[in-house]
Amino acid sequence: MPTPTQLNHPDISSEMIPEIDGIIAAHYKTNGAVIPVLRLCQDIVGYLPMVLIDYISYGLNLPRSEVLGVVTFYSLFSLIPKGRHTIKACLGTACYVKGIKEVMTRISNEFKLKEGETTSDRRFSLEAVRCLGACGLAPVVVVDQDTHGSVSASQVKSLLEHYE
């Protein structure tokens, strides 16, 4: 495992480094610290780039594989940058029957964005989820905290253009 002495990554500013060091220093003697440390560091950077995983592993004196295992197990953590807005498209049965696949395809084509990815300008991330509990509104797309029901493929562009 590399032993990083410096966090060198375009998404990690020099102001973030003392904060990250402080989090590691506050937790490194605590059992089970890896989840809170990852969560706090992700809150600072926005996601968990690999160099940060190595840094945390080194700081907590844990194998990289163990830290990476936690990151990949919990959907809360992300190894890729998130967009400024998260689009959640429901692939539950009711939404599927009502045409969410066409909506997803239109989002993908319109924004060059596949499921699980983020646009290159980091405007949007796209996630597929299972039943959002609003089946009466199917097909459902949630953007950040906003629930949009009865969405059709032809509405995708106008629906998303408000999210800069």
| Structure-token pair, residue 61 | 């004196």
Q: Distance (Å, rounded) from C-alpha 119 to C-alpha 126? A: 9
CB of 134 to ligand FES, least distance (A): 4
Q: Which residue, 132 or 153, has its beta carbon nearer to ligand FES?
A: 132
Q: Tell the smallest beta-carbon distance from residue 155 to ligand FES (Å).
A: 16
Q: What is the DSSP letter of 155?
A: G
DSSP run (H or E) holding 23? helix 16-27
Q: What are the residues binding ligand FES (CB under 6 A)?
A: 90, 92-95, 131-135, 138, 140
Task: Give the shortest CB-91-to-ligand FES separation in angstroms.
Answer: 8
| Tokens at 42, concatenated | 């992700």
Nearest residue to ligand FES by CB is: 92
Instruction: Using the minimum distance from each CB to ligand FES, give the nearer residue, 40 or 94.
Output: 94
**How far, in Å, CA of 100 to CA of 150, rounded?**
9
In the complex, the smallest distance separating the C-beta of residue 157 from ligand FES, rounded to whole angstroms, is 21
| Residue 17 or 94 having the CB closest to ligand FES | 94
When the beta carbons of 59 and 92 are compared against ligand FES, the nearer one is 92
Q: At what angle do helices 34-45 and 64-73 cross, to 10 degrees?
A: 70
Whichever of 101 and 122 has its CB closer to ligand FES, that residue is: 101
CB of 103 to ligand FES, least distance (A): 11
150: left (phi over 0), alpha (psi -120 to 50) or beta: left
CB 64 within 8 A of CB 1: yes
